[in-house]
Structure 1
Amino acid sequence: MKLKNRIAIITGGGKGIGAELSLKLASEGAKIIIAEMDVPNGERTAKKIRENNGEAIVIKTNVADEDSVNNMANEAINVFGKIDILINNAGTRHINNILDHTKQQWDDMLSVNLTGPYLCCKAVIPHMIKGGKGKIINFGSIASFMGRPDRVAYVAAKTGVLGLTRALAVDLTGKNININTICPGLISTPFNQKFAEDPELGEVWGKETIVGRWGKPSDIAGAAIFLSSDDSDFINGSEIKIDGGWLAAKTRKGEITNNE
C-alpha cells in the first residue's frame, strides 16, 4: 500500500471526483477525513470506506469560511494526531454570460475555488511542517489554461489555483512539503451530468478528446495517489492535466483518418 497510515483530508470528498478519491486513497491505506458541506453524502462515502475495513470520518466544513476550515484541521489533529495529505477538491461553478453574471456568483466561485484552497493550505501546513513532510494537491481545470464561454469567474479562479500552487511551493522551500495541481477536463460527474447526458452534445464532446471519450472519476484517482505518495517527492509546483488530450491537440472533422 502506497499510503499506509497516512492521514488525508479531502475537501468535497462526499461525491463525484472527491468520493472516488476518498475511496481510492483509503484502498491504498490512507485514513480519510472527508471535509464536506453535504454531510449525508460524506457519510455515505465514509460508510463505504469502513465497510472495506478502512478508517474515515466526516467533518462538516465550509472551505470559504476560515473558522470552519481551522476547526476542521484541529478536529483532524484531535482524531488522528497528524495530517499528511490535503486534497483541495471542493468546487462550485456558475455558467452564464458576463452581462448576467452577478457579483454574488463571482464571490461564490472565487471564495470556494480559490480562497478555499488558500485557507485549507494555511490551516494544514503548520501541522505538516511539525510532522516533517506533507503532500498538497489543488484542483485546477482545463479552464486554468484557456478562456471558456460564460465562465468568467470560474476561469479566473481556476487560473488563480495555478498561481497559488506555484507561489506556495516557493514559500515552502525546505519544508519537505510538495504542492501540485491536478487539472481535469471532461469528467462525467454530477458537476457535468447535464452535459455528459445531453443527447446531442454528450457523445460529441467525448469524441473531441484524443482518447475519444468522457473521463471518469477513476481516471483522476491514479494521479492523486501518485502525487500523495513518496513516488512524487521530486515533483513540486507542477500541474498534471487529465483531460484525454483535449488541451494537447485540436482537430477538425475529417482531419483524422479512421483506420478501423
Structure 2
Amino acid sequence: MRLKDKVAIVTGGASGIGKAISAAYVREGAQVFVVDIDEQKGQAAASEIATNGKAISIRADVTSSASMEAMAREVDRKSGRIDILVNNVGVRIVKPFLEHSDADWNAMIQANLTGPFLCSRAVAPFMIRAGKGRIINTASIASFVGRPNRVAYVAAKTGLLGMTRAMAIDLGPMGITCNALAPGSINSPMNAAQAGDAEHDWGKETPMGRWGTPEDIANAAVFLALDESSYITGAELKVDGGWVSTKARAGELAEVR
C-alpha cells in the first residue's frame, strides 16, 4: 500500500487508461475521485474498483473552469486534502489536415490542453496549502513526432509537454512536482477502434512486439505519485515499448525476431 491515505483525482477515470490508473491507486491504498463527464460510466467504474480503498465518482467537465473549481472544492470538502492529480482526459479527431474545421481544432485544444490547465489551476491551491503534491499529465507519443491526420491532436499534446515544464518551474517551490506520461500503442478502446485488423496491428511496430496495456501506464503513474519520485519534475516518461526512440525499416523487426 504505497499510496496509503493519499487522495487522488483522475480525470477521464471511467474507462481505458484512466480507469486503470484509478484502480492501481486504489490497490495502493489511495482514496480516488474518478472524474468523468459521463456520470453513469464514472459511477460504474468507481463501484468496480472500490475494493481495497475508496473510489468516488464526480461528474465534471474539464473544459469548464467553473466545473473544475467546483470539483476541486468538493474533493477537498470530502477528504480534506488533495495529494495527486492525473490529467488524463484525452480526445482525438482523425481526419486530413484540410478537413480539420475550426470546431475540430478548438475541441482538440480545449480537451487535451486547456482542460489540464483548468484542472491543475483549480487543484494547485489545495496542494500549495499542504506544501506538496503530484500533478501527472497524460501526453502521447504524438507529443514528440508528427502523426498523420491528427494535426490538432498533435498540436495539443505537444503543447501539453511545454505546459508541464512551465508548471514544474512555477509550482516546484511549493513542493509540487509536474510530470508527463507519454503512452504509445496502448490497447485502449480509443486506439483499438482505429488500429483495425491484424494487418495494421500497431503493437507489431514496437521493439517489444506487442501492444501496451492500460496497466503499463498505470504502473508508471503509480511511480510518479510516490514519495520516492519527489526529485523528478518537468520530465516526460515515454511508455511506448521504445516506439519513439527506435526505427526499423519494413521487415527488419521480423528479421530480429
Structure 1 length as normaliser, TM-score? 0.96
Deviations 1:139-165 (A, max 9, x none): 110000011111110000000000000
Amino acid paired to 1:40: Q
Partner AA of 1:218 in structure 2: E
Aligned match of 2:5: 5
For 1:213-228, what aligned pairs fall within 5 Å after superposition? 213-228=210-225
SS at 1:118 equivalent: helix
2:250 corresponds to which of 238, 241, 253: 253
Aligned residue type for 2:34:
I
Distance 1:212 1:144 in 2: 22
Q: Is residue 136–residue 178 contact of structure 2 (8 Å, CA) maintained in 1? A: yes
In structure 2, what residue type is equivalent to 1:243? D
- Mapping for residues 238-249 of structure 1, pairs under 5 Å: 238-249=235-246
Q: Which residue identity lines up with residue 239 of structure 2 in the other structure? A: I
Match of 1:230 in 2: 227
Give the partner amino acid of 1:164. Answer: M
* Aligned mates of 1:102, 1:259 — CA distance in 2: 43
Residue 259 of structure 1 and its aligned partner are, at CA, apart by 6.5
Q: Distance in 1 between matches of 2:240 and 2:54?
A: 31
In the TM superposition, what is the alpha-carbon distance from 1:99 to its structure 2 partner?
A: 1.1
Q: Could you list the runs of 5+ residues in structure 1 that have no partner in the other structure?
A: none
State yes or no: 1:185 paired with 2:184: yes
Between the aligned partners of 2:244 and 2:214, the Cα distance in structure 1 is: 19
- The verdict on how the C-alpha distance between 1:100 and 1:131 changes in structure 2, with shifts beyond 3 A counting, is same
Whole-angstrom distance in 2 between the partners of 1:43 and 1:35: 9
1:64-108 superposed Cα distances (whole Å, 9 cap, x missing partner): 000011110011011111100000000101001111101111111
1:173 CA displacement? 3.0
Q: Give the fraction of aligned pairs with identical amino acids, expressed as a percent.
A: 49
Residue 39 of structure 1, CA deviation? 1.4
Counterpart CA distance in 1 for 2:64 and 2:135 is: 19
| Long gaps (5+) in structure 2 | none
Instruction: Indicate if the aligned counterparts of 1:195 and 1:201 stay in contact, CA closer than 8 A.
Output: no
In 2, Cα distance between equivalents of 1:174 and 1:206: 40
Give the equivalent residue in structure 1 for 2:114.
Answer: 115
Take 2:82 and 2:118, find their aligned partners in 1: how far apart are those partners? 15
Kindly report which structure 2 residues correspond to 1:119-198, keeping only aligned pairs within 5 A, or say none: 119-198=118-197
Matched, 1:211 2:217: no
Report 1:25-174 matches (<5 A): 25-50=25-50, 52-174=51-173
Give the partner amino acid of 2:72.
A
Question: Which piece of structure 1 moves more, 121-130 or 190-199?
Answer: 190-199
- Give the drift of 1:195: 3.1
Return the alpha-carbon distance in structure 1 between the equivalents of residues 83 and 31 of structure 2: 10
Q: Distance in 1 between matches of 2:251 and 2:188?
A: 30
1:246 shift after superposition = 0.4
- Count, aligned residues: 257
Change (3 A) 1:247 1:32: same
